[in-house]
Amino acid sequence: MTASTQPTASPSWIPIVLLVLVVAAGAAVGAYLDWRMWHPSSGIVVTIGAVGLLIVGALAWTSRWRPIRPMAFGVLAFGIGVILGQNLGPSRPPISLASGTVTIQLTEPANAAPISGRADCQLTPDGDNFEVTGDPNLRLQIGDQPLEVRDPVQVALARGDMWEYGAESRGDGWSLLFIVGDAGPFTDDEVPTDVAMATDASSEVAGSGDQLAGSVSFSGLVGKDVGLGMGDPVELSGTLSWTCDGPAADPER
């Protein structure tokens, strides 16, 4: 009489190892997303997504359908990993706020007067990442235009990968955004629109200096949809210079 062969049970440690691997994968994803979406208003999206995974996993685990429970454990483990990675992974450098100035010398449009005014600076200890945004009351003057018909101009300059305005990242780290409004006058049937122009990988940009002072020449900006209504693209080229006074506030995350 031949003895029957009993089925071999899987080692009990295999599910534990798989869960650890899923947690590690979630932690890697959470750390990466937190590095890229470092700003609190963006980082909260990662937290909401992780909490959503935990809710889905918990609901699946409480289900009476036993085949779905292993998947529920995996979803729970991944969600826990995302939260751990977001909170324990590497953080961006702290940001210090400073006041400064910005000056824009445009060669295109032709006959544009120099633009200068106050600026807000966001600085980091190592200076690898910084942002300079011009006063929202800056105006574009062509020739001898009176003030009431000068188009409002918003400008933002950044270096590094913490602030990126273009559709594509640039290898040199420079990023520039112009938003040109329309001062009117308007008829009752006209709707004011803004035109956003930003750098992309093909834009010609050459910069020098550091986060406290410098200048950037630019041309070849491309249209960008920033949710303000797309007007006709405008040709913008010239040089932007900035100064920042140094940290003026406690660092913020």
Is residue 5 in a domain? Answer: no
Do 115 and 215 sit in the same domain of this protein?
Answer: yes
Is residue 47 in a domain? Answer: yes
Is 239 buried (19+), middle (13-18) or exposed (0-12) by CB count in 10 A? middle
Do 17 and 83 sit in the same domain of this protein?
Answer: yes
Q: Are 165 and 158 in contact (CB under 8 A)?
A: yes
The overall pTM is greater than 0.85: no
CA angle 166, 171, 173 (to 5 degrees): 65
Q: Looking at the 3D structure of the chain, how many domains does it have?
A: 2
Is residue 251 in a domain? Answer: no
Residue range 109-144, pLDDT digits in tens: 988 999 999 999 999 998 899 999 999 889 999 888
Is residue 76 in a domain? Answer: yes
Is residue 111 in a domain? Answer: yes
Q: How high is the pLDDT of residue 230?
A: 62
Residue range 162-184, pLDDT digits in tens: 988 876 778 888 999 999 988 77
Q: How high is the pLDDT of residue 250?
A: 45
Q: How high is the pLDDT of residue 75?
A: 92
Is residue 101 in a domain? Answer: yes
Do 169 and 142 sit in the same domain of this protein?
Answer: yes
Do 137 and 239 sit in the same domain of this protein?
Answer: yes
Q: How high is the pLDDT of residue 14?
A: 82
Is residue 2 in a domain? Answer: no
- In angstroms, the CA 239 to CA 104 distance is 6
In which element (H, E) is residue 213 found? strand 213-219
- Evaluate the omega torsion of the peptide bond into residue 94 and state whether it is cis, within 30 degrees of 0: no
- In angstroms, the CA 153 to CA 195 distance is 10
Supply the range of the domain harboring residue 196. Answer: 96-244
Do 77 and 105 sit in the same domain of this protein?
Answer: no
The b/e string for 48-68 (b: 16+ C-beta within 10 A; e otherwise) is ebbeebbeebeebeeeeeeee
Is residue 186 in a domain? Answer: yes
Half-sphere exposure of 15 (CA within 13 A, CB side): 9
Mean pLDDT, the chain cut into blocks of 10 residues (253 residues total): 54 82 93 88 89 91 81 91 92 92 93 93 93 93 85 92 79 90 70 83 91 94 73 85 74 42
